[in-house]
């Protein structure tokens, strides 16, 4: 009798790491303008449903033992629920966003005030950047997206602000206009714990990137999970990982299976209403690193 192939594959043991997140209740959520291809102001939105779906994500983070801070939603800023765009935070320092579109520009001072009031050092930006929507910390390195929102100049700026290497990646499909819609960091700082160089594994949607960026990703992350177009198209990659638990959309069936095979624990949360604004799980979640 032959041994099933899976029996020979070693699945690494994964550890959940404590997270501190910033979220914003979607009290004023609606779609009354369009700044990405998902947003269709003619279609009705249901704010109560958005709130109920968002609450499930919030409750889940607490159940998993994470901390969640809240910023007050501003009337007239329906996209403020997507706090990932509210900054990029490492070691207690918050790089404040400079939103590309006027519709969101009034959010930036509110996020800056929140950071100051909560003990973070703030760095005001000179360049257009949309925070953790386009900057993801993978191990020691900042992966930075451009093409639709954050500019290439902001990649230089974020590197200077944090004194870290920045890997610039170019997005080419308008549906995946922020880096966090096409790429997810799965592990916190894997290598360091094993005594090796800091590295982290990722999952991504190859077709969302130009060819040069695809080559960089393949070289840097040979073990990455490559997600199917189908799972990418339901915002499967717009997920939040603590190194073990990975919160994903229930529609990303293939990705769910891939995660399980790699020893992660996928947990599904449906944010279908918030997808009408072009955002998902990760968009509603800003990681707060340091300052406590
Ligand atoms: N409607 C918002 C916008 O277009 C959605 C932002 C989604 N955020 C994200 N991190 N991908 O700006």
pLDDT tens for each residue of 236-285: 999 999 999 999 999 999 999 999 999 999 999 999 999 999 999 999 99
Atom of ligand 1 nearest to the CA of 149: 12
* Distances 139 to 82, 97, 106, 109, 226 between C-alpha atoms, Å: 24, 22, 32, 29, 19
pLDDT in tens, 14-32: 999 999 999 999 999 999 9
Residue 73 CB–ligand 1 contact under 6 Å: no
Residue 69 has pLDDT above 60, yes or no: yes
Is pLDDT of 1 > 50? no
Stretch 87-112: mean pLDDT: 98
The verdict on the CB of residue 45 being under 6 Å from ligand 1 is no
Q: Whole-angstrom Cα distance, residue 30 to residue 142?
A: 32
Query: Which H/E stretch holds residue 136?
Result: strand 135-138
Mean pLDDT score of the chain, rounded to an integer?
94
CB of 283 sitting under 6 A from ligand 1 = yes
Quote the CA–CA distance of 74 and 80 in Å, as a whole number.
7
Ligand 1 within 6 A of 287 CB? no
Residue 23 exposed, middle or buried by CB count within 10 Å (0-12, 13-18, 19+): buried
Neighbouring residues of 91: CB distance < 8 A, sequence distance ≥ 6 = 162, 289, 290, 291
Distance 30 CA to ligand 1 centre (A): 13
Determine the distance separating the centroid of ligand 1 and the alpha carbon of 202, expressed in angstroms: 21
Q: What is the pLDDT of residue 191?
A: 47
pTM of this prediction exceeds 0.90: yes
Pick the atom of ligand 1 nearest to 99's CA: 12
pLDDT at residue 12 in the model: 77
134 lines ligand 1 (CB under 6 A): no
Which residue's CA is minimally distant from atom 9 of ligand 1?
283
Rounded to whole angstroms, how far apart are CA atoms 77 and 26?
Answer: 10
Mutation probe of ligand 1 site: the residue of 30, 39, 179, 278 with most atoms within 8 A of C-beta = 278
The pLDDT tens digits of the residues spanning 197-242 come to 446 799 999 999 999 999 999 999 999 999 999 999 999 999 999 9
The Cα 249–Cα 256 span in angstroms is 9
Residue 200: predicted pLDDT: 79
> Which residues are identified as catalytic?
178, 283
Rounded distance between C-alpha atoms, residue 6 and residue 73, angstroms? 48
Ligand 1, atom nearest to 39 Cα: 1
Distance 215 CA to ligand 1 centre (A): 26
pLDDT at 2 over 80: no
Q: Which of 99-113, 152-166, 177-191, 225-239 is the least confident region? A: 177-191
> What secondary structure letter does DSSP report for 206?
G
Q: What angle do CA 259, 264, 266 make, to 5 degrees?
A: 70
Query: Given pLDDT bands bounded at 50, 70 and 90, which one contains residue 54?
Result: very high
């Amino acid at each position: 009798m032959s041994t099933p192939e899976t029996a020979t594959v070693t699945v690494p043991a994964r550890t959940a790491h404590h997270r501190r997140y910033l979220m914003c209740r979607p009290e004023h959520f609606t779609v009354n303008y369009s700044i990405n291809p998902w947003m269709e102001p003619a279609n009705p939105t249901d704010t109560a449903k958005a709130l109920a779906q968002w609450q499930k994500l919030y409750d889940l983070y607490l159940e998993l033992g994470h901390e969640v801070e809240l910023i007050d939603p501003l009337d007239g800023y329906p996209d403020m629920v997507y706090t990932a765009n509210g900054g990029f935070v490492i070691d207690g320092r918050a790089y404040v966003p400079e939103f590309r579109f006027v519709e969101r520009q009034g959010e930036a001072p509110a996020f800056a005030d929140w950071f100051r009031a909560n003990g973070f050092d703030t760095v005001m930006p000179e360049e257009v950047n949309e925070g953790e929507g386009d900057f993801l910390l993978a191990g020691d390195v900042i992966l930075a997206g451009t093409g639709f929102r954050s500019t290439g100049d902001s990649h230089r700026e974020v590197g200077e602000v944090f004194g870290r290497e920045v890997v610039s990646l170019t997005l080419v499909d308008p549906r995946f206009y922020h880096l966090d819609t096409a790429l997810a960091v799965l592990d916190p700082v894997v290598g360091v714990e094993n005594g090796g160089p800091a590295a982290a594994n990722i999952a991504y949607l190859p077709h969302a990137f130009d060819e040069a960026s695809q080559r960089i990703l393949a070289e840097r992350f040979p073990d990455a999970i490559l997600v199917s177009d189908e799972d990418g198209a339901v915002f499967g990659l717009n997920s939040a990982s603590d190194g073990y638990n990975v919160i994903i959309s229930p529609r990303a069936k293939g990705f769910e299976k891939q995660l399980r095979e790699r020893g992660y624990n996928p947990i599904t949360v449906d944010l279908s209403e918030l997808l009408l604004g072009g955002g998902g799980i990760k968009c509603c979640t800003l990681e707060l690193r340091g300052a406590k």
